[in-house]
Homo-oligomer: A and B are copies of this chain.
């Protein structure tokens, strides 16, 4: 996985906008002192709500960064309110300060030419999948996007599409059939794998972010057909930059397993290394 962690900084920012999009997502744009480069899949630890409760910063995938030549530099996040931290975040307003440590972790490896990429985002997982799509589009790589959610209204709203020259083929999947494929996104992927030749399956790399069950299922599907897969994992984090050792997961290491930090060696791991 690609690792440009050297540029990590503690950045004081100011909220430019923080608005609800669709039913469950918020888009947060924060102005920062200098342009922020990142690899899709990398993230920031975000804090700034008043008081010490919740205490810890929250990890959010870097969704987009904008840099107007002589103007403002901003970074963008897309998030879903699931608990107190994200609820507090959603209550913050333009002009308020926000601190970010970023860019963090290892993002997706988009390096190899000649491969075919399937980008799979479950739920808010599209927040790290779209930046990958944008990057692949710039590279004119061969890619398709699969987006899964419970229902239509939980799919990413139109205005949050990946930025890039070519949108890529997008497959929508809803568990209740209210939009696109009727069923789980993993089933959609499995069905499409069936139509692949063995040769093209061996060219396939799945880049996925979403619930653990989804990732596990995809990893099995990828393994079975000889495709590669990079999975963006999640875990509770205290620091986000590798010093607390709180975010480890067990990864295969020779015969046994080793504890690897999601924030440092991840969040993107080769799916075969993960102990699902």
Contact = CB atoms under 8 A, between A and B. Distances in A.
Interface of A: 49-54, 84, 87-88, 91, 93, 96
Contacts of A52: 51, 53
Taken together, the copies of this chain in the complex come to 2
Contacts of A54: 51
A93 B216 CA distance: 42
Contacts of A50: 49, 84, 87-88, 91
A235 to B, nearest CB: 23
Nearest to A50: B88
Interface-centre pick from A51, A52, A84 (highest chain B CB count, 10 A): A51
A218 B51 CA distance: 38
A2 to B, nearest CB: 37
Q: Which 5 A-B pairs rank lowest in CB-CB distance, beginning with the nearest?
A: A51-B53, A53-B53, A52-B53, A51-B51, A50-B88
Contacts of A91: 50, 93, 96
Contacts of A49: 50-51
Nearest to A96: B91
B93 A51 contact: no
Contacts of A84: 50-51
17 contacts: A49-B50, A49-B51, A50-B84, A50-B87, A50-B88, A50-B91, A51-B51, A51-B52, A51-B53, A51-B54, A51-B84, A51-B88, A52-B53, A53-B53, A91-B93, A91-B96, A93-B93
Contacts of A87: 50
A79 to B, nearest CB: 16
A87 B51 CA distance: 10
A96 B93 CA distance: 14
Nearest to A52: B53
Contacts of A88: 50-51
Nearest to A87: B50
A92 to B, nearest CB: 8
